[in-house]
């Protein structure tokens, strides 16, 4: 072997290593990203699944023995309310439409405040397990099952939004196809929801709170730094987009979306399930107030990221649903980006599993109980609750494959509106108009509202 041939081989090896290992985006960087993502996510799962050892009965699975403190109530609400819509969906909508994306988290905060002020006392005092059971005591068993169906349908639609958000993360990190991403999402969400129940949802919420605030503060700070401050970001926005107009879609549509959010949160089984699971009435109220304080700022941080991306990257590869994962890869070192992506996936799965738990509780208590009789010990068993949860998981995945072309946030508004139409008016009447529940015109209105809402939106 001549000296020249040796030099040539060494040069080729160097070029190979430089191209695939040391260059940004090289193989070592890619494998580091994947390894940190998997390690971080597995660690998060181990922390959450430790709660499953405490779940022995169906009552534990759905209500945690009515033993939650105020902070634990808040963890459950945050763990299920703040998910893919509040993060990926908010950044996506801010990228597409501007600051109107804040509606979801703003409405969530307002809802939790109203819940603590006016609803928590009456709901917790009734010692019920589902909001439909509460309504059934005032409007009869037939109305209980009617509202349970539409409330479950509303949560079911929201689960679809979580699937879309989780799939966006998996496709961004691993390059999976839609089918593979869906399969992985089903498995991961099943692990979360089938193990810990409402206690597991609280554990997810606690981890999510600290992780999500850290991720979103870091990301928004980097967006401001890279964009030269909020003034420079605003200057870079397209002039004709209405990105700084909170009412850009129109005053009426914006207020309808905000109203749908407030009514939807106050009508959703899993959020009210946190109130039902509280140790005392005061703990229930304080948990709602704590949630009201910490949720809206997350949306502001997401809006900042979305506006930065719109100002600097008007054409995103993979579409606007990939905006937040794209930002992680753009602005963060591989290991940190992988950690943030893993944390974001946990956030999304936590919300999705909480919604599945809410639907499963309705099916188990308001559905199976109808078929098998009034013996709650036989129907509300741990096995029955988990079976219902698994059925909800699989059926909601099937809807994603039908290819409904809606943005993540649009699914959420539809979901919230349907839940509000089926429960909210009856809930307000039961709490604030107890002396007028015998009105002949009230019940027909309550039965008509969810059907009318669906007719207007499809």
Range name among 61-65, 97-101, 145-149, 440-444 with the lowest pLDDT average? 61-65
Q: What is the mean pLDDT of residues 41-48?
A: 75
Q: Above pLDDT 70, what percent of the chain?
A: 80
Q: Residue range 239-257: average pLDDT?
A: 84
Say if residue 126 is exposed, middle or buried (CB neighbours under 10 Å; 0-12, 13-18, 19+): middle
How many beta carbons lie within 10 A of that of residue 76, not counting itself? 31
Q: From residue 118, how far is each of 114, 123, 392, 419, 421 by CA, in Å?
A: 6, 10, 31, 18, 19
Specify the length of the chain in residues.
458
CB 273 within 8 A of CB 124: no
The answer to whether 147 and 301 have CB atoms below 8 angstroms apart is no
**Predicted confidence (pLDDT) at residue 17 exceeds the cutoff of 50:** no
**For residues 120 and 287, what is the distance between their CA atoms, to the nearest angstrom?**
10
Confidence of residue 123 (pLDDT cuts 50, 70, 90): confident
Domains and CATH numbers, the chain: 33-457 (1.20.1730.10)
Per-residue model confidence as pLDDT tens digits over 129-145: 788 888 988 888 889 88
Q: What is the structure's pLDDT at 18? A: 43
What was the pLDDT predicted at 333?
Answer: 83
Whole-model pTM over 0.85 = no
Q: For residue 58, is pLDDT > 60?
A: no
What confidence score (pLDDT) does residue 440 get?
76
Confidence class for position 360, pLDDT limits 50, 70, 90: confident
Question: In the predicted model, is pLDDT for residue 198 greater than 60?
Answer: no
The pLDDT of residue 1: 55
CA distance linking residue 396 with residue 216, whole number of Å? 29
Rounded to whole angstroms, the Cα distance separating 189 from 162 reads: 10
Q: What is the DSSP string of 100-154?
A: GGGHHHHHHHHHHHHIIIIIHHHHHHTT-SSHHHHHHHHH-HHHHHHHHHHHHHH
- Quick check: 147 pLDDT over 50? yes
Whether the predicted pLDDT of 363 surpasses 90: no
Give the separation between CA 338 and CA 332, rounded to whole angstroms.
9
């Amino acid at each position: 072997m001549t000296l020249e041939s040796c030099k040539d081989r060494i040069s080729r090896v160097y070029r190979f290593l430089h191209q695939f290992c040391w260059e940004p985006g090289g193989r070592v960087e890619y494998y580091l990203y994947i390894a940190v993502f998997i390690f971080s996510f597995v660690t998060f799962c181990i922390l959450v699944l430790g709660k499953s050892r405490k779940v022995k009965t169906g009552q534990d699975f759905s209500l945690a023995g009515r033993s939650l403190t105020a902070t634990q109530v808040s963890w459950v609400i945050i763990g299920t309310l703040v998910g893919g819509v509040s993060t990926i969906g908010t950044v996506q909508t801010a990228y597409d439409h501007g600051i109107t994306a804040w509606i979801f988290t703003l409405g969530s905060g307002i809802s939790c405040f109203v819940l603590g002020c006016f609803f928590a006392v009456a709901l917790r005092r009734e010692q019920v397990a589902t909001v439909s059971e509460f309504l059934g005591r005032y409007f009869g068993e037939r109305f209980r099952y009617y509202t349970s169906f539409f409330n479950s349908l509303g949560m079911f639609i929201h689960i679809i939004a979580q699937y879309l958000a989780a799939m966006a993360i998996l496709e961004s990190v691993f390059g999976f196809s839609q089918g593979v991403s869906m399969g992985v999402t089903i498995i991961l969400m099943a692990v979360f929801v089938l193990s810990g129940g409402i206690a597991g949802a609280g554990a997810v919420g606690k981890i999510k709170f600290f992780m999500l605030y850290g991720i979103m503060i870091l990301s928004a700070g980097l967006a401001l730094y890279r964009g030269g401050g909020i003034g420079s970001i605003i200057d870079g926005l397209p002039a004709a987009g209405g990105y700084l107009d909170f009412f850009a879609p129109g005053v009426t549509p914006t207020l309808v979306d905000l109203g749908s959010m407030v009514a939807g949160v106050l009508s959703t089984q899993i959020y009210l399930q946190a109130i039902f699971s509280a140790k005392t009435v005061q703990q229930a109220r304080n948990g709602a107030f704590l949630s009201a304080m910490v949720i809206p700022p997350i949306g502001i941080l997401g809006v900042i990221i979305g506006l930065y991306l719109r100002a600097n990257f008007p054409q995103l590869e993979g579409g606007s649903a990939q905006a937040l994962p794209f930002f992680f890869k753009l602005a963060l070192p591989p290991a940190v980006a992988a950690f943030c992506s893993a944390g974001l996936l946990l956030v999304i799965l936590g919300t999705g599993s909480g919604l599945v738990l809410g639907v499963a509780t309705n099916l188990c208590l308001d559905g199976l109980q109808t078929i098998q009789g009034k013996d709650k010990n036989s129907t509300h068993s741990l096995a029955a609750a988990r079976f219902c949860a698994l059925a909800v998981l699989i059926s909601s995945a099937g809807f994603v494959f039908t290819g409904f072309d809606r943005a993540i946030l649009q699914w959420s508004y539809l979901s919230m509106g349907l839940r509000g139409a089926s429960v909210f008016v009856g809930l307000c009447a039961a709490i604030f108009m107890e002396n007028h529940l015998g009105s002949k015109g009230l019940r027909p209105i309550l039965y008509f509202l969810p059907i009318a809402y669906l007719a207007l939106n499809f």
